[in-house]
Amino acid sequence: MKRVPLYSRTPVRTQAPAAGAPAASPEAAPDGEAEDPPGVLARAASRLRGALGRHERWAWAGFALLLAALAGWPSWVRHERQIPTFEQIDTAMRASIAKEPLASAAANAYEAVIGSVVRVVGEHPADRADPKEGEEHTSVGTGVVIVDKGIILTNLHVVSGAERIKVTFHTGLESEATLINVQPENDLAVLQAANRPDELEAATMRSTGGLRPGDEVIAVGFPFGIGPSTSQGVISGLKREFRSPQGKRVLTNLIQFDAAANPGNSGGPLVTMDGHVVGIVTAIMNPTEARTFIGIGFAVPIENAAAAAGLPPF
């Protein structure tokens, strides 16, 4: 028995048979009848096998690439979706810091100001009145450049009575300096260097208005002539008063700090962690004759120091 065709390319119109005409035989297939689907599929498979035979190398290469992609796909997905844990982040940060340690805030502050720090030496007459036995005829202190033309702030007691003043810049250049202004009530002196380095750095100054006890600071200078040296501490208090042991000096509105300071630090900058000068170191509390630091130092606010140099207030 023949199969009934599933579809035809052309519609077949059927007409009712005339009266008395014989019925059409079911075995007769109309013209234009479509081939069996199995036959079409067989020819397509044959053409595919032929194409694979002609391009066998390319076929195998493509198949290998497909297998490799499928094999690696799960790991790609896992990698894209992986989120590092807090412990992994902490471990990576510790390893990075151990490999390249971060500079401390104090070290950064020192680097910011050191180009402006100078050594100040006052040479006094050898026959001045009432010389003490073994007393030196020079006084050593510190200064800070506040104008790149060679204008330097220091303490008045470092250069008072000196017949000659010498300053040594951070570059090693030594120059004579002249006293151009004083502010005795704040123990401040302003110097003008005769020579200066070609690229002299002036310190950046900042108002003390935002200072609070506990803020970190460094003191930079030449304690006992050694330096430049730096020490770190905090602001201990504001608006303090200092009276010298002999009662000859009374200073008010001072910044109290606990960064180590000794003779030779006088006139040096008191610097915040952002590298800004907020005061000029001027005295240490010393109830004995040891002349060593016991934990209390004082600095003149930079507003007063800037006024002594004729600079506008902050």
- CATH (domain of 235): 2.40.10.10
pTM of the complete model beyond 0.85 = no
Q: Is 170 a catalytic site residue? A: no
- What is the model's pLDDT at position 10? 46
Which one is catalytic: 187, 231, 236, 258? Answer: 187
Sign for the CA dihedral angle at 270, 241, 185, 208 comes to positive
Q: Is residue 25 part of a domain?
A: no
Position 237 scores a pLDDT of 96
| Together in a domain, 219 and 179 | no
Asked if the structure places residue 222 within a domain, the reply is yes
Asked if residue 8 has pLDDT above 50, the reply is no
The answer as to whether 27 is a domain residue is no
Q: Do 172 and 227 share a structural domain?
A: no
**Is the per-residue pLDDT at 108 higher than 90?**
yes
Which amino acid, 310?
A: G
Q: Which residues contact 242 (CB under 8 A, 6 or more apart)?
A: 249, 250, 251, 254, 282, 283, 285, 298
Q: Cα 220 from chain centroid? A: 22
Name the least confident of 135-139, 200-204, 267-271: 135-139
Task: With CA atoms as reference, report the closest residue to 146 among 212, 209, 196.
Answer: 196
Under 8 Å between Cβ of 298 and 251 = yes
Please state, in angstroms and rounded to a whole number, the distance separating the CA atoms of residues 10 and 32: 7
Q: Are residues 183 and 240 both part of a single domain?
A: no
Q: Which residues pair with 281 in a beta bridge?
A: 299
- Determine the straight-line distance between the first and last CA of the chain, rounded to whole angstroms: 113
What percent of the chain has a predicted confidence (pLDDT) above 90?
A: 47
**Domains held by the chain: number:** 2
Same domain assignment for residues 175 and 263: no
CA-to-CA dists, residue 204 to 48, 49, 230, 272, 306, angstroms? 82, 84, 17, 11, 11
Task: Using CB atoms within 10 Å of the CB of residue 18, give its burial: 0 to 12 exposed, 13 to 18 middle, 19+ buried.
Answer: exposed
What average pLDDT score do residues 151-155 get?
95
CA 251-181-173 angle, to 5 degrees, is: 105
What average pLDDT does the segment 104-109 reach?
93
Of 103 and 266, more confident: 266
221 lies in the same domain as 285: yes
Q: What pLDDT, on the 0 to 100 scale, is given for residue 25?
A: 46
Domain span including residue 143 = 111-125+137-193
Catalytic: 187? yes
Q: Which range, 1-5, 77-81, 164-168, 245-249, has the best average confidence (pLDDT)?
A: 164-168
Say if 52 falls within a structural domain. Answer: no
- Asked, for residue 242, whether it belongs to a domain, the answer is yes
Question: What string of DSSP letters covers 98-165?
Answer: HHSPPPPHHHHHHHHHGGGEEEEEEE--TT-SSPPTT--SEEEEEEEEEETTTEEEEEHHHHTT-SEE
- What pLDDT is attached to residue 86? 79
Would you state the pLDDT for residue 41? Answer: 66
Tell whether 46 is covered by a domain.
no
Assess contact for 214 and 208: CB atoms under 8 A.
no
Residues 165 and 245 in one domain: no
Among the options 157, 231, 236, 258, which is catalytic? 157
pLDDT tens column, 167-199: 999 999 999 999 999 999 899 999 999 999 999
**Are 232 and 294 within one domain?**
yes
* pLDDT of residue 57 exceeding 70: no
